Structure 1
Amino acid sequence: MRKWMAVLTIILWIVAGVKQVWEQKAAEPVSVAEAFSREELPEIQSKVRYSGSCEKYLEEDGRKELLCSLAKEMHIENFPQTVTERRDNGSVTTAVIEGKEGKTTFTYLAVGTWLYDTLISPRCYVIVELETEGHMEAAVFYRNKLEEAASKLGLSGSAGLELKGSRPGKDTLEDYGNTAKTLFSQVGAKEVSSWKTESLYRIYGYSPRLGSAVYRGEEAMNISFAAEYDSIAGMTRYRIGVPSLEE
């Protein structure tokens, strides 16, 4: 249990931007986290999700140009063909890039009301999701790069980081609580709200060190913790989200 808590603690150091000394040598915490995760938690996954609004309604060629420009700003080459689908409440254009290190999905979404072939008063959004297996250093880089690139291209939104880890066996509610307490203390986070049962364990918190926040009701939060037992796989699953988790 202590090893697992140490791994998750170091992961949060990545987000907080803290540096740590390892074997008397200065090292980026992400490198330490990757070393620990490969040894202790081979199933650690990273996910970055950007969601932002776009002021302009674009046709298919313009959508591809925008998404391709966003990919280039992220140093992603060989942009694939886009696919556009018409839906009852608008249209969506997507492009998926799959590689050895993970998958990236680019989406342009237009929501409105169709009048024959014209979309009336469309609201437009850009969503980018990047998933990797254990490559937390890349995930942190792309989270920061995504926000920078999107702002440069005139989009208004933010990117979040979610880390997932599993370990064999069934942890107790006390284990969940101790892990969350350790993680929150490392980034100076205070609990805002929670739901603590075996079937649903969630804690939402806020730390001034972690930047911008989202809101649950009137409460500001920028870190989320979740834990659950997967009885089929016989594994305990942990998730950490900055600023939030996908429910």
Structure 2
Amino acid sequence: MFTILPAFIAVIMVFASQAVYAFGSVDNSGGTKAYELEGVWKGQPDVVTSGLDVLSMVWHLDINDSAPAPGNEPTTDNLLAVTVENAHFGEIPAECLSGDKGASEISEDQRTLTCDIGERDEGTAQMVLSGIKVDGPAGSTVSAKATFRGLEAKLPEIPIIAPFIMDAKFDAGAPSSLTGQPDTYQFMSFPFSLAHATGSAAGPESVSYDITINGVRGKGSLRRI
């Protein structure tokens, strides 16, 4: 009896150690907490275009514990914080409580979303779907990371491409026309503007445009403006 007892106690201690290691730390009510955070891009593309593409992120939040359902206590301060680079948020997701109901908000620079999912009982889960618009320069990447109750998750980076886009505008101001001598010449003065698209590639050092002008006496062309 005296030689078996120490071995029996040792076996019990090994089993107890394995149980604590597998399920995490024990709380005061006898249950163990296992908060979880996971995120994915919805339909992740290979590349995105700056100024045009919109991306969707799906975040899964778990507030788990090993206690029986009747013992699951409500938890507060369930805040999901998502920060993105080279993109921005446009609105707060429907799953996030804001105003008088919660602390959800978008930062002033629109790069960080704080989502308050409200009070939740232990043993429940929540999914949050959020969208962002790409606005970074060509050659950079869109990145996103989130934190929830001390946990952190990052999404794969997505390369950004940006084609050269420039628009010309000729329909503003007060154009004028003057007939020269001889009257086969017509002098015209008109304002115009060129707009380089936000996030567009830098483009060439110089550009030229061919303009066709339709008039009463026919049409001509004005080159290299």
TM-score (norm 1): 0.25
Which structure shows the bigger proportion of residues in helix conformation?
1
